[in-house]
């Protein structure tokens, strides 16, 4: 299948491929969930805007730096070749690419290494600049949360830590996304509720699951490059059990949230996506590990969207409880 050269790509397409904007949506929405839930707490509007903006910039930095170090190690080039063959065999390459990923921007020549370093520096500076008003508003917790988040983000692929290659990548992603939601609310309000704690845990679980599923489809390449992620440690059957356990935990957390507001039942509208993903897993047809990637991405995205809908409805009519 022929593709236009990098110079022939429309500007918006190039920007999307360079910064993986579609892949940053779960990052951004995790923080938006936290600040939208914080609206009834009379938080200044500029803080409600700056917190997710800082998270968005951090997400762009995270994805870009991860791609840079994966390019340097050579793993992304091999991984994308492996996944491209699977996508072509599934006869859905364009659909999957639009949702997920079309290759490392350094490997495809969209960005040079020197340009990449300049972009990373600019993004890091932008994160600090945007975070300053939030720090002045909320104090030292912003710095503490920021340092933990920066460590997890940067050393996901950066040497010498490289969490993703040590079987800790999925865990670090889960912790990071928990923080994006929970800390966004806490920084905005200075307090927390059990409901937002439960939802933040749910976000961590579903996005950690997304990372687990994404990594397993190229385990042969990861092993070749000396990387041992969680799915390699667990093996195929162990990973399948982990996927099903993570889904069960996510819905248990959603059920517990319904104690505080029955509008959280909206979170169960993601079940059709999960049921279809489980059918693909159980069928175990060729390239099933690639075929389930869009479902896990959609599960993460819809979980956050449904919580936003529930939160807005709750603000409009009040929490719906039976006791």
Q: pLDDT (tens digit, 9 = 90+) per residue, 210-263?
A: 988 988 877 776 677 677 788 888 888 999 999 999 999 999 999 999 999 999
Token pair 């966004």: residue:
184
Q: Residue 146 — very low, low, confident or very high, per pLDDT cuts 50/70/90?
A: confident
The CA distance from 212 to 20, in Å, is 19
- How confident is the model at residue 6, as a pLDDT? 56
Query: Residue 7: inside a domain, yes or no?
Result: no
62: CATH: 1.10.600
Q: Which residue has the higher pLDDT, 174 or 99?
A: 174
Query: Residue 73: inside a domain, yes or no?
Result: yes
Judge whether residue 86 has pLDDT over 60: no
* Span 304-316, average pLDDT: 97
Query: Residue 322: inside a domain, yes or no?
Result: no
267-306: per-residue pLDDT in tens? 999 999 999 999 999 998 888 988 899 999 999 999 999 9
Query: Residue 2: inside a domain, yes or no?
Result: no
Cβ-contact 34, 181 below 8 angstroms: yes
Query: Residue 323: inside a domain, yes or no?
Result: no
Query: Residue 79: inside a domain, yes or no?
Result: yes
Cβ-contact 176, 59 below 8 angstroms: no
Query: Residue 163: inside a domain, yes or no?
Result: yes
- Domain holding 69, by residue range, is 18-317
Judge whether residue 2 has pLDDT over 50: no
Task: Count up the domains in the chain and report the number.
Answer: 1
Please state the separation of Cα 216 from the chain's center in Å. 16
- How confident is the model at residue 275, as a pLDDT? 97
170-194: per-residue pLDDT in tens? 888 899 899 999 999 999 999 999 9
Task: Name the pTM for this structure.
Answer: 0.85
Highest mean pLDDT among 36-50, 78-92, 212-226: 36-50
CB neighbours of 28 closer than 8 A, spacing ≥ 6?
52, 55, 56, 59
The CA distance from 106 to 291, in Å, is 25
Highest mean pLDDT among 22-31, 56-65, 94-103, 273-282: 273-282
* Residue count of the chain: 323
Query: Residue 1: inside a domain, yes or no?
Result: no
The CA distance from 38 to 184, in Å, is 9
């Amino acid at each position: 299948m022929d593709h236009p050269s990098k110079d022939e790509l429309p500007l918006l397409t190039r920007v999307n491929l360079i910064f993986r904007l579609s892949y940053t949506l779960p990052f951004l929405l995790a923080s938006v969930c936290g600040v939208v839930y914080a609206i009834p707490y009379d938080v200044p509007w500029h803080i409600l805007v700056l917190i997710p903006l800082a998270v968005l910039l951090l997400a762009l930095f995270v994805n870009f730096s991860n791609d840079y170090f994966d390019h340097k190690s050579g793993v992304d080039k091999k991984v994308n070749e492996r996944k491209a063959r699977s996508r072509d065999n599934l006869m859905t390459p364009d659909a999957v690419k639009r949702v997920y990923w079309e290759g490392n921007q350094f490997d495809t020549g969209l960005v040079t290494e020197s340009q990449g370093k300049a972009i990373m520096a600019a993004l890091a500076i932008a994160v600090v600049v945007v975070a300053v008003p939030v720090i002045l508003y909320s104090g030292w917790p912003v710095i503490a949360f920021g340092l933990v988040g920066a460590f997890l983000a940067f050393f996901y692929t950066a040497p010498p830590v490289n969490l993703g290659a040590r079987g800790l990548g999925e865990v670090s992603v889960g912790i990071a996304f928990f923080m994006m939601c929970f800390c966004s609310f806490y920084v905005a309000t200075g307090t927390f509720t059990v409901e937002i704690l439960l939802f933040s845990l749910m976000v961590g679980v579903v996005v950690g699951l997304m990372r687990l599923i994404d990594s397993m489809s190229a385990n042969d390449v990861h092993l070749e490059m000396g990387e041992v992620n969680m799915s390699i440690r667990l093996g195929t059957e162990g990973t399948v059990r982990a996927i099903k356990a993570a889904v069960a935990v996510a819905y248990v957390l959603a059920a517990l949230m319904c104690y505080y507001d029955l509008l959280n039942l909206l979170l169960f509208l993601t079940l059709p996506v999960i049921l279809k993903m489980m059918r693909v897993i159980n069928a175990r047809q060729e390239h099933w590990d690639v075929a389930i990637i869009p479902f896990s991405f959609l599960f993460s995205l819809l979980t956050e969207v449904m919580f936003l809908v529930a939160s807005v409805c709750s603000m409009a009519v009040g929490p719906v409880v039976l006791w």
